[in-house]
Amino acid sequence: MNFVERTLSSLVNAMERALYAEELAKSDGLLQRLDPRVKVIGILTLVVASAVAHRLWVMGVIFAVAVTLAVMSRVPFGILAKRVWVAILMFTGVIALPAPFLVPGREVWRLPGLDWPVTAQGLASACYLVARVETAATLSVLLILCTPWSHVLKALRVLGVPVVFVVTLGMTYRYILLLLQTAHDMFESRRSRMVGKLEGPERRRVAASSAGVLMSKTLQLSGDVYSAMLSRGFRGEVYVLDDFQTSKIDWIMLAVFVVLASGGFYFGL
Amino acid sequence: MSVPVFEVQDVTFHYHIVTALDGLSLAIERGKRVALLGANGSGKSTLLHILDGLAFPEKGSVRFDGEPLTEGRLQDLEFGYQFRRRVGLVFQNPDVQLFSPTVFDEVAFGPLQLRWPKQEVRSQVGQMLDLMKITHLKDRSPHHLSTGEKKRVTLASVLVLDPEVLLLDEPTAALDPKSASQMIDFLVGWRGGVKTVITTTHNLDILEDIADYCYVFQTGRVVLEGAPSDVLRETALLERTNLIHVHRHVHPSGEVHSHPHLHPHKH
């Protein structure tokens, strides 16, 4: 199994786990009990506060709030660590890696062997980037894990997000698993007809043609899924069985979110 | 004579350069069980999509219950809701029809879109799950079901709307013989057989069970129509349209014998 096939396999498993996450959204925790509109507004304001903050300790406080929310919502740390913290650290780390060497400023250390200077300002830039992304991603994943997807979409519509955006978001989620499964099946069927290894140029040619076929299938698939939705009366609006109702705890938590975000804006800017 | 439920007049449709329907005309009477027969690519699935208002002819016209079925007409909220309420399509590939997180949500999708009262949605979905014997699957993700279970969920998700016209695209495709037989038994008995049911198939074994009348398609045109018993007698044409094949076997004497392969049901 080569790198592409292993990646596809992992993506299929990850998406299947994401679908199972609906079970977590139905468990009995703090965020699960809140009205989806309150969650969307509250978490969005915290994400914005962390994105505009210019002080590390403010980002740290918002991150601590996110972790507290995770604990109170019974979200296993393992899920957050594996799906968010480690993954984000690796991706953002790669992007932030050159900053300590490239950003001019006060030299604090030299890289042994290469003798490249590491600056305090460069280190701070890298830390800001990683901290911002970790905090924003943790909050966003909490929202998704603790809210059924259809409720997130309905809340976005209630809050005035345009239909076309919500439909696109909904469609993406709906057929991404099928798309990954199709890609996975294509690679498996190719492997079942192969003996030995392909040479580099041939491998690239096969990969490129597979990508083309996959794109064509994707277009077909997205059209079919959309037709199936239209056939059952879909007109762009999102309807769910559960009615959104605010209770005392929703108003309290909304106030908490607003106070925290305001604090983030006040101290962070 | 009552107005046909669907009236298709001189309809032409292409997929890029491939002709799917070529000047097709037919009328489907209310309460009839109609089979559209044809090999793969003969245009029968395209016709179902046109009858369900998901595709629109390049040339010609389609009328539903006497009214033109056009893209503009379906944009009208009242007509659109009425049409979706009265006509249901079960797709050949269940995967494209299953996009909700749970089986219950999937079956509830249509009624919610048609703005049924929520209490009625809950009760009707519960009853439909019981009827299709899939209540035990209601909290499962549809993506993780077997093909037979997926087919049952897709059928439930359409039948819950209790449509007057049911369009079925290869309902027994990819099913094992027992599941296929159960599916046919269910469809034959559904609502006492008084609904209009239009089924595409190339499985002639089930023809007499599912249809009062058939159309045989070849390259986007109807080449034969009639009662199932009459159509099944036209073996030369069925062979030409790839619906039956020459079956060869060896006799104990060593003689190789061949004849068209057809197993109609006799009771």
Residue B46 clears pLDDT 90, i.e. is over it:
yes
The pLDDT, as a whole number, for residue A139 is: 92
The pLDDT, as a whole number, for residue B265 is: 47
Tokens read off for B264 = 């109609």
- Please give the full DSSP string across A119-161, using - where no structure is assigned: EHHHHHHHHHHHHHHHHHHHHHHHHHHTS-HHHHHHHHHHTT-
User: How confident is the model over A169-178, as a mean pLDDT?
Assistant: 71
User: How confident is the model over A231-240, as a mean pLDDT?
Assistant: 84
- Counting the structural domains of chain B, the total is 1
User: How confident is the model over A113-141, as a mean pLDDT?
Assistant: 87
Whole-number Å distance between alpha carbons of B148 and A133: 44
Angle in degrees, 0-180, between the axes of helices A120-145 and A36-52, rounded to the nearest 10: 180
The pLDDT, as a whole number, for residue A14 is: 62
Model confidence at B266, in pLDDT bands (50, 70, 90)?
Answer: very low
Smallest Cα distance from A175 to chain B, Å: 7
Asked whether A122 and A106 are in contact (CB, 8 A), the reply is: no
Question: Is B158 at the interface with chain A, CB within 8 A?
Answer: yes
Chain A: residue whose CA lies nearest to B108:
A241
Q: How far is CA A115 from CA A109, A111, A122, B186, in A?
A: 9, 5, 16, 77
User: How confident is the model over A98-113, as a mean pLDDT?
Assistant: 83
The pLDDT, as a whole number, for residue B262 is: 59
Q: Which residues of A touch B54 (CB under 8 A)?
A: 227, 230-231
Model confidence at A8, in pLDDT bands (50, 70, 90)?
Answer: low
Flag whether B266 is in a domain: no
Asked whether B174 and B148 are in contact (CB, 8 A), the reply is: no
The pLDDT, as a whole number, for residue A18 is: 61
Q: Say if the Cβ atoms of A19 and B101 lie within 8 Å.
A: yes
- The contact set of A with B (CB < 8 A) is 16, 19-20, 22, 148-150, 174-175, 177-178, 221, 224-225, 227-235, 237, 239-241, 243
Q: Say if the Cβ atoms of A227 and B54 lie within 8 Å.
A: yes
The pLDDT, as a whole number, for residue B159 is: 92
Q: Which residue in the set B49, B93, B109 is minimally distant from A232, CB to CB?
A: B109
Burial string for A38-74 (b: 16+ CB within 10 Å, else e) reads: bbbbbbbbbbebbeebeeeebbebbbebbbebbeebe
Q: What is the pLDDT of residues B179-237, one digit of tens each?
A: 788 788 877 777 676 789 999 988 888 888 889 999 999 989 999 999 998 988 888 87
Residue B263 clears pLDDT 60, i.e. is over it:
no
| Structure-model confidence comparison of residues B237 and A47, the more confident one | A47
In chain A, which ranges are continuous DSSP H helix?
3-25, 30-33, 36-52, 56-72, 77-80, 87-96, 99-102, 120-145, 149-158, 163-192, 200-231, 248-268
User: How confident is the model over A117-140, as a mean pLDDT?
Assistant: 89
Flag whether B126 is in a domain: yes
Flag whether B138 is in a domain: yes
Chain A: residue whose CA lies nearest to B118:
A241
Interface test with A, best of B75, B77, B99 (most A CBs within 10 A): B99
Q: Which residues of A touch B100 (CB under 8 A)?
A: 150
Flag whether B54 is in a domain: yes
B window 174-213, beta carbon within 8 A of A: none
Flag whether B1 is in a domain: no
Q: Say if the Cβ atoms of B161 and A232 lie within 8 Å.
A: yes
User: How confident is the model over A17-39, as a mean pLDDT?
Assistant: 79
Q: What is the pLDDT of residues A67-82, one digit of tens each?
A: 999 999 988 888 888 8
Tokens read off for A180 = 């990954």
Q: What percent of chain A has pLDDT over 70?
A: 90
The pLDDT, as a whole number, for residue B63 is: 96
| Structure-model confidence comparison of residues B258 and B146, the more confident one | B146
pTM as predicted: 0.73
Q: What is the pLDDT of residues B128-138, one digit of tens each?
A: 999 888 999 98
Model confidence at A65, in pLDDT bands (50, 70, 90)?
Answer: very high
Residue A138 clears pLDDT 60, i.e. is over it:
yes
User: How confident is the model over A87-107, as a mean pLDDT?
Assistant: 85
Q: What is the pLDDT of residues B152-169, one digit of tens each?
A: 999 999 999 999 999 999
- Supply the range of the domain harboring residue B84: 6-260
Model confidence at A181, in pLDDT bands (50, 70, 90)?
Answer: confident
DSSP state of B195: S
Asked whether B93 and B175 are in contact (CB, 8 A), the reply is: no
| Structure-model confidence comparison of residues B96 and A23, the more confident one | B96
Whole-number Å distance between alpha carbons of A165 and A153: 10
Smallest Cα distance from A168 to chain B, Å: 14
Chain B: residue whose CA lies nearest to A221:
B96
The pLDDT, as a whole number, for residue B66 is: 92
The pLDDT, as a whole number, for residue B267 is: 47
Residue A21 clears pLDDT 80, i.e. is over it:
no
User: How confident is the model over B26-47, as a mean pLDDT?
Assistant: 91
User: How confident is the model over A89-109, as a mean pLDDT?
Assistant: 84
Flag whether B26 is in a domain: yes
Cα atoms found within 13 Å of the Cα of residue B28, Cβ hemisphere only: 30
Model confidence at A6, in pLDDT bands (50, 70, 90)?
Answer: low
Residue B101 clears pLDDT 50, i.e. is over it:
yes
The pLDDT, as a whole number, for residue B129 is: 94
The pLDDT, as a whole number, for residue A53 is: 87
The pLDDT, as a whole number, for residue B260 is: 61
Smallest Cα distance from B231 to chain A, Å: 31
Model confidence at B127, in pLDDT bands (50, 70, 90)?
Answer: very high
Smallest Cα distance from A118 to chain B, Å: 49
Interface test with A, best of B90, B112, B162 (most A CBs within 10 A): B112
Task: Supply the CATH number for residue B191's domain.
Answer: 3.40.50.300
Residue A13 clears pLDDT 70, i.e. is over it:
no
